[in-house]
Homo-oligomer: A and B are copies of this chain.
Amino acid sequence: MKRLAVLGSTGSIGVNTLDIAGRFENEFKVVALSAGTNIQLLREQIERFEPKAVSVLNEALANALKRKISPKKIEVLFGVEGLIQITTLPEIDLVVSALVGAAGLIPTISAIKAKKSVALANKESLVMAGKIIVEEARKNGVAILPVDSEHSAIFQTLAGRSKGEIKRIILTASGGPFLNLPYEKMKEVTAKEALHHPTWDMGRKVSIDSASLMNKGLEVIEARWLFGVSTEQIDVQIHPQSVVHSMVEYIDGSIIAQMGITDMRIPISYALSYPKRLRLDLPSLDLFHMDGLTFLPPDMERFPCLRLAYRSMEVGETMPAVLNAANEVAVNSFLEETIKFTDIPAIVETVMEDHQIKPLTTLDDALRVDQWAREKTKKLIEERR
């Protein structure tokens, strides 16, 4: 029986995590949940799973929630402090870190320091502070289990192999809704069009990142830290059918690939139940009724976000945190329709160029740079209006 804390329980990954926990009640006990503002869904989850503690975005929401539930049976916390408290509860074995964006960093680190294994869906924490997280995990002897479908694919295909046998990791990308759109037309795409992902159903920020390929860029950085390979060993291939979720090529030329239907419950359940697999009773991947599987090199000209992500890794230290923060702010502005889709990489690049690289040794280094890049990006966007 694994005892879980689920951070971001009302988001897409959180809901799917609880679906798995609910199907396998002999395997998992949900001890703590955290949500942002979706109190209604959180309340339903509390009724269903009866956690010991929950945390919400702020005090007002915590009070609103307390009025709706029986607060004697459950501790209602809020804010970053609330997240830290629930990740460090002594009875928790595994923390599912599924917050979106930079907000995931502090609770992820606090879970690791409390010697909890982490099922990590929050790629931003590895992008911002991968070196620190990996080092803390090593020091505390805990596992970081990938939840992203691509990284889960790699994790599954790496099973038991030594790092020296890896020739390269091949991250696949659907290419998003604008795969074949000329650059000129990209300038005019709307948030609604960008949110329409062809093969996966995801949250809003991730969907925009998928459309710009920044998501794949962040995944390259994430893979570098999760699997301890160099950035040069990580390739991206566009695979519009999203059937092969990623691959590893070994030194003997053998490629091991993981495939499946586009259902996040497969990678989530693998992270939750690792090292064993659970019987999910999902429909089998139907290879007979689909287009031929194709693979293409990514177009770094039309999708500069991917190029910027590789460049940030080559520079290293605080640069990926700058990329990540500038992107997060720019994506929000695009969703609010204050900037164009093609402005996202232009703004991120400007902020990166303006950044004085610093050594990344403490969490504060990452957080300070994150703060700087956000303010810088907001200012840039203000100036453009």
Contacts and interface: CB of A to CB of B under 8 A. Distances in A.
A165 B277 CA distance: 7
A259 B260 contact: no
A284 B249 contact: yes
Interface string A142-158: 00000000000000110
A289 B279 CA distance: 37
Contact of A255 (B162, B251, B269, B285): B285
Nearest to A292: B292
B260 A279 contact: no
B278 A251 contact: yes
A356 interface: no
Contact of A266 (B156, B159, B254): B254
A282 interface: yes
Given A160-B160, A276-B165, A287-B237, A258 B260 contact: no
B252 A280 contact: yes
Contact of A279 (B251, B255, B270): B251
A156 B254 contact: yes
Contact of A254 (B250, B277, B293, B294): B277
A228 interface: no
* Best-buried of A249, A277, A288, A291 by chain B (most CB within 10 Å): A277
Nearest to A167: B284
Nearest to A297: B288
Classify the secondary structure of A's interface with B.
loop
Contacts of A276: 162, 165
Interface in A122-177: 156-157, 159-162, 165, 167
Contacts of A263: 253
A249 B287 CA distance: 12
A261 interface: yes
Contacts of A253: 260-261, 263, 266, 280, 282-285
Interface in A286-339: 287-288, 291-297
A287 to B, nearest CB: 4
Contacts of A159: 159-161
Contacts of A292: 291-294
A256 interface: yes
A74 interface: no
Given A159-B159, A160-B159, A270 B296 contact: no
Nearest to A244: B257
Nearest to A152: B254
A292 B283 CA distance: 23
Contact of A259 (B257, B280, B282, B288): B257
Interface string A220-251: 00000000000000000100000010010111
Interface string A24-48: 0000000000000000000000000
Contacts of A247: 259
30 contacts: A156-B254, A159-B160, A165-B276, A165-B277, A167-B284, A237-B288, A244-B257, A247-B259, A251-B278, A251-B279, A251-B280, A252-B269, A252-B270, A252-B277, A252-B278, A253-B260, A253-B266, A253-B280, A253-B283, A254-B259, A254-B260, A254-B266, A254-B270, A255-B258, A255-B259, A256-B259, A287-B295, A288-B296, A292-B294, A293-B293
Given A159-B160, A161-B277, A256-B256, 18 more contacts: A157-B256, A159-B159, A159-B161, A162-B276, A167-B284, A251-B279, A252-B270, A252-B279, A253-B283, A253-B284, A255-B260, A255-B285, A256-B258, A256-B259, A257-B257, A257-B258, A257-B259, A293-B294
